[in-house]
Structure 1
């Protein structure tokens, strides 16, 4: 982790206002999401918050999972003021390093513009979809 920042899975540290603001103002996939919907997604997901050492939240990601076989990465965000510094990559690497995530058989995600980033971590396109990617350990033979 880069100096001056830390990542936590403690949901009590999450700044719901930061997450909601980013979702409705900056995320192409979050337009129209209500505050109640945002709270519900957090309540029902394995969440990761990224913070400055002064405890200001600057990033967020979550995984919707059964904690056994399957997970779907969602809502990976970094505050615009901190983008381009490798913090999104650090957040993804932290998330993927967690034992809970490593133990999953299948991990999927949807992205419109970050295929190259996720390819580095073993994700490949699913079929002809321009959005869906997965990393699958399950053998079908």
Structure 2
């Protein structure tokens, strides 16, 4: 890994205020309360990426049964660090994470990062007519 950054899954190291501030302004988690951010983190494997000064600069989380399915969510790199390949460092780490090696499928949703995820082998869902979702409104 790049010596300028390090990644941890240790939840006690995550800057919850920073994560909440970013997510609540994002298109996918706009307005999510801090208590819900904390609850989502408690029920996920969390990945924080930090600079040499121990400042958190990015985050992602995955929910999985570690066998059949995993869902990647809440991926971000702070705006001032974007465009430097840091997101790719974080994603590579996640996709090489030992617990996910045998997972059959990793899913995600994005409005604007299809090209980034395609670099890691993501494709549009084949046979989308077979997928169903139940949304609680």
Q: TM-score, normalised by structure 1?
A: 0.86
In the other structure, the counterpart of 2:103 is 104
Distance in 2 between the 1:73 and 1:4 partners?
24
Q: 1:45 aligns to what?
A: 44
Q: How does 1:2-81 map to 2 (within 5 A)?
A: 2-25=2-25, 27-81=26-80
RMSD of Structure 2 on Structure 1 (CA)? 1.5
Aligned mates of 1:115, 1:81 — CA distance in 2:
21
Gaps of 5+ in 2: 132-137
- Report the secondary structure of 2:93's partner residue: helix
Report the number of matched residues.
Answer: 129
Larger proportion of strand: 1
| Structure 1 residue 99, shift from structure 2 partner | 1.2
State the distance in 1 between where 2:38 and 2:80 align.
24
Unpaired runs of 5+ residues, structure 1, are 133-141
Q: Cα offset for 1:2?
A: 2.4
CA distance in 2, matches of 1:55, 1:106: 33
Q: Which runs of 4+ in 1 moved over 4 A?
A: none
TM score, norm. by length of structure 2:
0.89
